[in-house]
Amino acid sequence: MSLASPWMLLSLVLVPLLVLGYTRLVRRRARRAERLATEGLVATSAAGRGSRWRRHVPFALFAAALAVVCVALARPTMSLALPQREGTVILAFDVSNSMLAKDLEPSRIEAAKVAATAFAKRQPRTIRIGVVAFGESAITVLRPTDVQEEVLAAIRRLSPGGGTSLGQGLYASLSAIAGKPLQIDASELESDGGEVDIGFYGSSAIVLLSDGENTSEPDPLQIAEVASSAGVPVHAVGIGTPEGTVIEVDGFSVATALDEQLLTQVAEVTDGTYNLAGDAATLERIYESVDLELTRVERRHEVTALLAACGGVLLALGSFLSIAWFGRVI
């Protein structure tokens, strides 16, 4: 325990002064009772009842209340080890040209931002959220943080352009979870991605927001195998419609449609989930699927209010007993 205002402990001198005053009061009352008993004005047994132990209980509670309040004035703080559930979620955004399509209003990229913003706002502070943007390559826009305002700002800054590599997006997301660039040998991926050991990152998840159209290497299913071995589920959110639409890219008309099959396969490989962005229960299911880790975190808390409340309880109890037993407070 530490004290923010230790000099306030000087107020504890009031406690022995109060005890001294009470002792004198009790002795004066005893002498008066003895004098009245000698003169025959009160019964001797009545005078003796004043020495019973319970006569001093209310005062003891008053004195204890004063001592507790004096300690509270010093503003004590304590380190408490509290259980806390923690986890890391990476929002992996597809920012390829196909996300400019307007088969979702106002566009796929804006629909993805709305979904991600709603998800971020639902998370407690114990969930750290990072943002990864991927097209033909991928970049960590925001490292995992518990500052919600930074997450929302990172989402707003995203803008589309270029091709699509789901594998690069998943790879960058795993690196963001690990907190360092991961090295994955391409030959190992070709043999069996599930055998690539990058460590275990339980209590983490990737939320993949994409239309699922993959145009570049590496194979997203191979990276999904790596994520599965690392204990990281991928929760895919389909952005777009299966019917698709046509967009203009550099003067060319390009057809684009939601590839639910690939997104579903990626999710299944990692024991994750797949949902359409338009599904109202999507975000709730994703949050419930994140396997949070229970840890104990030491934090300092000021206990002034708690001690003041204890002092108030002792004072009220002493007053109640005094009134109940003797018909007066003191």
pLDDT by residue for the chain (330 residues), tens digit each? Answer: 677 788 888 888 888 888 888 788 878 877 777 776 676 655 554 444 444 667 778 888 888 888 888 888 888 887 766 665 678 899 999 998 888 888 888 888 988 888 888 888 888 788 899 999 998 889 999 999 999 999 999 999 998 888 888 999 999 999 999 998 887 776 666 665 456 778 888 888 999 999 888 888 888 999 999 999 898 999 998 888 888 888 877 777 888 888 899 999 999 999 988 888 755 455 556 656 565 555 555 667 788 888 888 988 888 888 888 787 777 766
Contacts of 21 (CB under 8 A, 6+ apart): none
Q: Which two tokens stand for residue 54?
A: 């319970």
**What is d(CA 217, CA 166) in angstroms, rounded to the nearest whole number?**
8
Domains of the chain: 2-77+300-326 (no CATH), 95-291 (3.40.50.410)
The whole-angstrom distance between residue 98's C-alpha and the CA centroid of its chain comes to 35
Residue-wise DSSP of 153-166:
HHHHH----S---H
- 3-state DSSP assignment of residue 219: coil
**Which of 93, 89, 90, 91 lies closest to 211, judged by CA?**
93
| pTM of this prediction exceeds 0.85 | no
- Closest by alpha carbon to 155, among 136, 170, 128, 133? 133
β-bridge mates for residue 256, sequence order: 245
The confidence score (pLDDT) of residue 24 equals: 83
pLDDT given for residue 47 in this prediction? 43
Q: Are 103 and 244 in contact (CB under 8 A)?
A: yes
Q: Residue 259 corresponds to which amino acid?
A: D
- Which residue do the tokens 């024991």 mark? 271
Distance of CA 73 to the CA centre of its chain: 30
Which of the 8 DSSP states describes residue 98? G
Residue 93: what pLDDT?
93
Pair type for strands 252-256 and 245-249: antiparallel
What pLDDT is attached to residue 298? 60
DSSP string, 170-204: HHHHHHHHHTS-----HHHHHHHGGG-------SE
pLDDT at 50: 45
pLDDT, residue 51, reads 47
Handedness of CA 295, 299, 303, 304 (dihedral sign): negative
* The dihedral sign for the CA sequence 166, 168, 171, 172: negative
CB 235 within 8 A of CB 141: no
pLDDT the model gives residue 59: 80
List the end-to-end C-alpha distance of the chain, in Å, as a whole number: 34
206: enclosing H helix or E strand: strand 204-210
